Chain A
Amino acid sequence: MNFTNETINITELPKFEEVSFLPLHKDYWKIILIGNFIFLSMMSLGLGIFLFFNEEARGYWYLFYAAAFLLFLLSVGFGKLSFKKRGFAFRQHDVLYKSGVIAETTTIIPYSRVQHVALHEGFIARQFGLTSIQIFTAGGGDSDIEIPGIEKDKAQNIKQLLMSKLTSDMTNTDVENE
């Protein structure tokens, strides 16, 4: 009989905080920028319409546009920071996703708890050949991971990897549940 039951040394367990995270694809930064530009132009358009109908405010048009531009700069700066802070990692048994500027958050989902995987392609992202991959658990909304900015074939591979882990797991689950 080769049964052993040694004490686990907690400090020697693999540490999630020492994992080196992969950054999102460089082009994803462009997508963020484009999003911001769209936002800026919408805002400018809205302001233009507002100033066209409101004669009193028209005298101060430069103030409005300065505020809008400042807002744009802030959101670009914040976007850059947030882009830099994001990262993901696939370990042998779980997937990690790190994000957040104000609060740095790391979400970890073990493969054995993945319910299903979805790929999303936004209109702008498609022009760059990027996809976002969303990983669902039975825990619902808040615990899901969505990794944006992954090359399409890479995302497909990841999905395949997760699905293969999933199906091998599912067969076990099914047997025990029946």
Chain B
Amino acid sequence: MLRMSSSDFTLPQRQSLIGVLVMFADTLRKIVRGLWPLLVVWLFKFNEMNKLYLGLGVIGVVLVVGIIAYLQYLNFTFHIDEENDEFIIHEGVLNKSKIAIQLHKIQQVNINQSLIQKVIGVHALDIDTAGSSKKEVSIRAISHDLAIALKDKLLAESRKASQHEQPLDVTQTETEKPFIAISFLSLVKIGITSNYVRSFGLLLAFFFTVFENIQNLAQNSHTMDKVDAEIENYINQNMALYSAMILIAVVFFLILTINLFRTVIRYFDFKMTKQNNSLLLSYGLLTTKSTIIKPNKVQIVALSQNWLQKKMDVLNFKIKQASGSESEKENKKSAIEIPGCDEVEKEAILKLLFGQIPEKGVKLKPNFRKLLFPSFFLIILPVSIVFGYGFTTDDKVFDYILILPFYLVFVGLLLYFGFRNYRLFVNQQYIIRQSGAWDIDNEIIEPHKIQAIKVSQFFWHKRANVGSVTITTAGGDLSFHLGNYTKIKELVNMWLYQVETTKKNWM
């Protein structure tokens, strides 16, 4: 392993020159990300704009970004300071900064390639350190040989510098066979079947931002008045029910597309590699991200699958780890997602995390009172408001009364399935909570990972003997509301017994 490379890392050196392209793409992406609402508006006004100015503008932006990228390249150097056992990076065009990493703090060194990096044939080298939430250091463009040499050097030095702490040797190169690779097809399946609610929110935000920008522009230009009138006209027409249907279809289609693109861009080429007892994940189309999962740090494992995904044999994993540091804020949920596993992959991952496939134990159901509160807020309250408003103030509301049955059926189904799926399964090794109306989540906790338990009961639930329990782990909470209180107390006593007698560590 201690291969001495010919490259001398003690002198400051730059990245590969061709890496300017990577920095160019990075900067451009940042600009686009910051200005996208404006860009969308300009796109709509494309025909009205002076093509000459537009062309000059584009050339100007490209030039400026190019110069910035080149300056970034010139100012970025890295070297190993052998006297102080530090890895040092200088960077920054206007704000110069020097980053020094003590070698013994280096936890892992990853070599990755994003799409752009693949095209121009360079690699990224990321350094992960212990006990710091700061963005880890990343060299964006480095040739493959140099990357390997630097990595070996860093890990060798890091081992020399620290006597007892063994850094993880993460040799993730293309040649190594990944333990699990999520196929493109699985990503597509997940993309079109998940996160409807989140995408709807995104879509809404998108429309509001664009609308606001259009309005801002409208104050300056007269042509926009026409557009404004048209929009209002359009909205009026939309009052008809059938247009509403079309609108719903369009929104649904947009949600699907957004989801699909998000998932594919985010999780493209998802690979899991096994590495001395831990799992290394790397994924991403534009930028490659990599994270590490250590099974003993895993606190909560959540599996999520809906009816469609079940038919297509895909499911999502969400893994919540306790971070290594003592700081309270960092300990808070850092969830890692694994999208699109099939049944075989699911079992392999579960086996790796738990040593076996967790079985569901004795079932605990919620009391019917669990339904009362949400039904009041989602059914009784809105319906009485609509009728109250209709009878007293404005009976035009009743023109749309046809929507009501649809709403009631929709909400009723959500509540019913949400209630039916809400279960707690407990056996000696695992606590599994199942929940969700459409996306059914199964959250798995091992009793010895419990940090604290909270039981509570509203005073009006005393006679009905129902109550709630919240289990806290270092990776987040898990609650079960309104179950049989006697049963819950029994479980709590058992969990306390397990936590207080276990030899296993929670981390």
Q: Does B328 contact A (CB under 8 A)?
A: yes
- Are A8 and B477 touching (Cβ within 8 A)? no
If the complex has contacts A14-B493, A143-B472, are A103 and B456 also in contact, measured as CB distance less than 8 A?
A: yes
A12 to B: closest C-beta gap in Å? 10
Cα of A145 to Cα of B407 in the assembled complex, Å: 43
Q: How far is the CB of A16 from chain B (nearest CB, A)?
A: 6
A138:B492 contact, CB within 8 angstroms: no
Interface window among B120-128, B436-444, B499-507: B499-507
Judge whether B363 is part of the interface by a CB distance below 8 angstroms.
no
B452 touches which one: A104, A137, A172, A177 (CB < 8 A)?
A: A137
Point out the residues of chain B lying under 8 angstroms from A8, CB to CB: 494, 497
Q: Contact: B493 with A16, CB < 8 Å?
A: yes
A169 to chain B, nearest CB (A): 10
- Are A109 and B452 closer than 8 Å at their CB atoms? yes
A140 touches B497 (CB 8 A): no
Per the bound structure, the CA–CA distance linking A138 and B505 in Å amounts to 13
| B451 and A16 within 8 A (CB) | no
Q: Are the C-beta atoms of B328 and A112 separated by less than 8 Å?
A: no
Contact of A94 among B458, B470, B500 (CB under 8 A): B500
A143 to B493 CA separation, bound complex (whole angstroms): 17
Which residues 104-122 of A have a CB within 8 angstroms of B? Answer: 104-110, 112-113, 115
B498 closest partner in A (C-beta): A8
- Chain B residues whose C-beta falls within 8 Å of the C-beta of A15 in the assembled complex: 489, 493
A107 to B500, CA, bound (A): 15
Contact B453 A138 (CB under 8 A): no
CB distance from A163 to the nearest CB of B (A): 16
Q: How far is the CB of B379 from chain A (nearest CB, A)?
A: 24
A103 to B482 Cα, complex, angstroms: 12
Q: Is B505 touching A110 in the complex (CB atoms < 8 A)?
A: no
Residues of A within 8 A of B326 (CB): 115
A145 and B322 alpha carbons, distance in the complex (Å): 20
Q: How far is the CA of A17 from the CA of B332 in the complex (A)?
A: 30
Contact A110 B322 (CB under 8 A): no
Q: Tell whether B459 is near chain A: CB-to-CB under 8 Å.
A: yes
State which of B459, B473, B493 has its C-beta within 8 Å of the C-beta of A139: B473
- Whether A1 sits at the interface, judged by CB under 8 Å, is no
| A66 cross-chain contacts in B, Cβ below 8 A | none
CB pair B458–A102 under 8 Å, yes or no, is: yes
In the assembled complex, how far is the CB of residue B251 from the closest CB belonging to chain A, in whole angstroms?
Answer: 36
| Secondary structure dominating the interface of A | mixed
Whether B477 lies near A139 (C-beta < 8 A) is yes
Find residues 452-507 in chain B having any chain A CB closer than 8 Å to their own CB.
452-459, 470, 472-474, 477, 489-490, 492-494, 496-497, 499-500, 505-507
Residues of A within 8 A of B506 (CB): 113, 138
Query: Inside 8 A of B165's CB, which chain A residues have their CB?
Result: 178
Q: Which of B322, B458, B459, B490 contacts A138 (CB 8 A)?
A: B322
- Report the Cα distance A155→B458, complex, angstroms: 30
By a beta-carbon cutoff of 8 Å, the part of chain A in contact with chain B is 8, 10-11, 13-17, 93-94, 100-110, 112-113, 115, 136-145, 172-173, 176-178
Nearest-CB residue, chain A, relative to B322: A138
- Residue B450 CB within 8 A of the other chain: yes
Using Cβ atoms and an 8 Å threshold, which residues of chain A touch B490? Answer: 10-11
B452 and A108 form a contact (CB under 8 A): yes
What residue of chain B has the Cβ atom nearest to residue A10's Cβ?
B494
- Flag if B459 contacts A104 (CB, 8 Å): yes
Tell whether B30 is near chain A: CB-to-CB under 8 Å: no
- Most chain-B CB neighbours within 10 Å: which of A13, A15, A115, A138? A138
Give the residues in chain B near A101, CB-CB below 8 Å.
459
| A113-B494 Cα distance, complex, nearest whole Å | 16
Contact between chains at B452 and A107 (CB < 8 Å): yes
Q: Are B459 and A176 in contact (CB under 8 A)?
A: no
Interface flag for B222 (CB, 8 Å): no
B474 CB to nearest A CB, Å: 4
Are the C-beta atoms of B452 and A16 separated by less than 8 Å? no
Which B-chain residue is minimally distant from A97 (CB atoms)?
Answer: B454
User: Are A178 and B164 interface neighbours, CB within 8 A?
Assistant: yes
Partner of A105, one of B456, B494, B497: B456
- Report if B331 contacts A (CB, 8 A): yes
Q: Assess the B499–A107 pair: CB atoms within 8 A.
A: no
Q: Are A109 and B451 in contact (CB under 8 A)?
A: yes
Contact A139 B500 (CB under 8 A): no
> Closest residue of chain A to B491, judged by CB?
A10
Q: Are A142 and B456 in contact (CB-based, < 8 A)?
A: no
Given contacts A94-B500, A112-B499, A176-B505, contact A139 B489 (CB under 8 A): no
Given contacts A93-B500, A108-B492, A138-B451, 18 further A-B contacts (CB under 8 A): A8-B497, A10-B490, A10-B493, A13-B494, A13-B496, A16-B492, A94-B496, A100-B456, A103-B459, A105-B456, A108-B453, A109-B452, A115-B326, A136-B328, A140-B331, A143-B451, A143-B452, A143-B477
Q: Could you write out 11 A-B pairs with CB less than 8 Å apart?
A: A11-B490, A14-B493, A102-B458, A103-B457, A104-B456, A104-B457, A104-B458, A107-B453, A113-B452, A139-B477, A144-B452
Identify the closest chain A residue to B164 (Cβ). A178
Interchain nearest-CB distance for A85 vs B (Å): 10
Residues of A within 8 A of B452 (CB): 107-110, 113, 137, 139, 143-145
Output the residue of A108, A172, A178 with the most chain B CB within 10 A.
Answer: A108
The complex places the Cα of A13 from the Cα of B490 at a distance, in Å, of 9
Residues of B within 8 A of A103 (CB): 456-459
